[in-house]
Amino acid sequence: MKVTLVGYTPNPLYVCAEAAAVCYNSEPDLKIIKGCIRSGHQSVLEHCSFTFRVEGISRSCSHQIVRHRIASYSQQSQRYVKYDDLDWVIPDYGIDGDFARHACDIMLNAYKDMTDESDPGFQKSTIDAARCVLPNATPTTIYITMNLRALMHFCNERMCNRASKEIHEVACAMKEQVMWAENISVEEKTILSEVLVPKCEAGPIKACPEIGGCGRHKPLKEFVWRAKGRWIGINEWAQMHDSKPSGMGTYFWCSACEEPHESKTKFCPNCGAEMMEG
């Protein structure tokens, strides 16, 4: 796998800063960009772009990449490119590599037989149709152009340790290429290094939003405080208030906000308190 930054907006954050300055009728400054990122006003980050050439990845990886819709893609066509020999992209984990390569070779031989025009006894197929037997391990090359906002989202999702290993490596290599770019200042790279990160490190709280995370950071739920409460029946409510509400015999009250509700739920619909047993 090889990732190359083949083109980009020079001094990208300064370009975005100039766009942001128009919004606020102020002077362009990287402080504006920091504020926009921090506040979530990130549309100004769409004014710069980065183009990558990614080669030697599997078709299964490229299928994951193109799910990121706010980007432009140009990929090697299997309709017009005929394959003779292929260096399969096989995962180095969770699979018998030799067995997988042998299975892929069988598929490649079938593909070559289907497209071999020298054998008069075999019904020929076009490479457009014959590609249906090629496996997901087939290598491919793809050009990717993303604006900075889309690149941030790509890195947030795919640099996560729970992402597929191959696309994780692509995301890390894309960030590395940006950090090596010549026409990006040190000040810009400092900001970029802080936003081209996995999602557990993208916000003000360093926390993992995934279920069963990798252990780099605590789960996000440990940082979310929620009031606790319990459901109170009509008899207990009457004892607390020395009176009995009329016409509300089927209601329950939240102990946190004392608002009545028709049924018991896990969280109070009014104040959001988490309901405990008892």
Sequence-distant contacts of 266-270: CB under 8 A, at least 24 apart = 267/226, 268/229
- Sheet strands side by side (includes 260-261): 260-261, 252-254, 228-232, 274-276
> Which of 233, 157, 163, 152 lies closest to 192, judged by CA?
152
DSSP three-state, residue 30: helix
Q: Whole-angstrom Cα distance, residue 253 to residue 262?
A: 9
Would you call 158 a catalytic residue per the annotation? yes
Q: Whole-angstrom Cα distance, residue 214 to residue 208?
A: 8
Sequence-distant contacts of 65-69: CB under 8 A, at least 24 apart = 65/142, 65/144, 65/167, 65/170, 68/146, 68/150, 68/153, 68/154, 68/157
> Which of 134, 142, 72 lies closest to 107, judged by CA?
134
Map tokens 């391990």 to a residue: 137
Instruction: Record the tokens describing residue 96, joined without a space.
Output: 């018998």
**Annotated active-site residue in 59, 131, 149, 158:** 158
Number of residues written out for the chain: 278
> Which of 66, 16, 73, 67 lies closest to 41, judged by CA?
16
Amino acid at site 175: K
Map tokens 């016409």 to a residue: 247
Q: Which residues are catalytic?
A: 158
